[in-house]
Amino acid sequence: MVSLEKELQGNTYPGRGIVIGRSRDGKHAVIGYFIMGRSENSRNRVFVKEPDGIRTEAFDPAKLTDPSLIIYHPVRVVGDTTVVTNGDQTDTVADFLKEGKTFEEALRTRTFEPDGPNWTPRISGMVEKNGDYRLSILKSADGDEHSTRRYFFEYTAPRAGEAHFIHTYEHDGSPIPSFKGEPTAVSLENYACINCFTNALWDNLNADNKVSLYTCFIDLETGERTEKIVNKNQ
């Protein structure tokens, strides 16, 4: 495992990121999701709480130019399952789960975002009632818009104090290179509570590019959810 803080400090633009794991006391599933932006349109966003999760919203509606890839539900709760993604595939996964289908079946109907030349990957996560979780990335084949690569990662009986971190971009660039390899194993040993976890994520994201952050601790015995939202635009 590596330090989550150092992973964030060493990357000025990971794009959008998902962290899922288990708290150091083993009693909570842990979720973190952040968005970043380089353009005015991408930075003009906030997270807003919804009854079944959260959604993105334009901070200043007058400055919103293209909502297609920036306005969506990052988090949806379906029964005892939590879905978190970087786009409208959240709704796809939620709809499939309601029909008794799987996370993987849902994402096999989707591909990367149509925003060439970046072809931004779609990253997705799902946390089950017992704390088991899955991650996925859908991306182009080295920038080839005609070829899709779908990767799925499944974590059963996750270890206390450990999480996995996946993000859309390897680092800043033009075009921006997609994330490579498996989700990074990161330590949660330094975070005794959701406030510690939230502060570690927010304080170590690039100050110029960070936009919004959502965190959640789910009590694995009771199902009780403790959630935090931090928006750069207040």
Contact 125, 30 (CB under 8 A): no
Q: Nearest-CA neighbor of 40 among 17, 65, 3, 22?
A: 65
Percent helix, strand, coil in the chain (nearest 5)? 15, 40, 45
pLDDT (tens digit per residue) in 74-92:
999 999 999 999 999 999 9
Exposure letters 113-122 (e unless 16+ CB within 10 A, then b)? beeeebbbbb
The average confidence (pLDDT) of the chain is: 97
> Structure pTM?
0.97
pLDDT value of residue 126: 98
Rounded distance between C-alpha atoms, residue 71 and residue 96, angstroms = 21
pLDDT (tens digit per residue) in 197-231:
999 999 999 999 999 999 999 999 999 999 999 99
pLDDT value of residue 234: 86
Rounded distance between C-alpha atoms, residue 170 and residue 27, angstroms = 32
Q: How far is CA 205 from the centre of its chain?
A: 14
pLDDT (tens digit per residue) in 21-71:
999 999 999 999 999 999 999 999 999 999 999 999 999 999 999 999 999
Percent of the chain exceeding pLDDT 70 equals 100
Is 161 in a helix, a strand, or coil?
A: coil
What contacts 160, CB < 8 A, 6 or more positions away?
Answer: 22, 23, 24, 25, 26
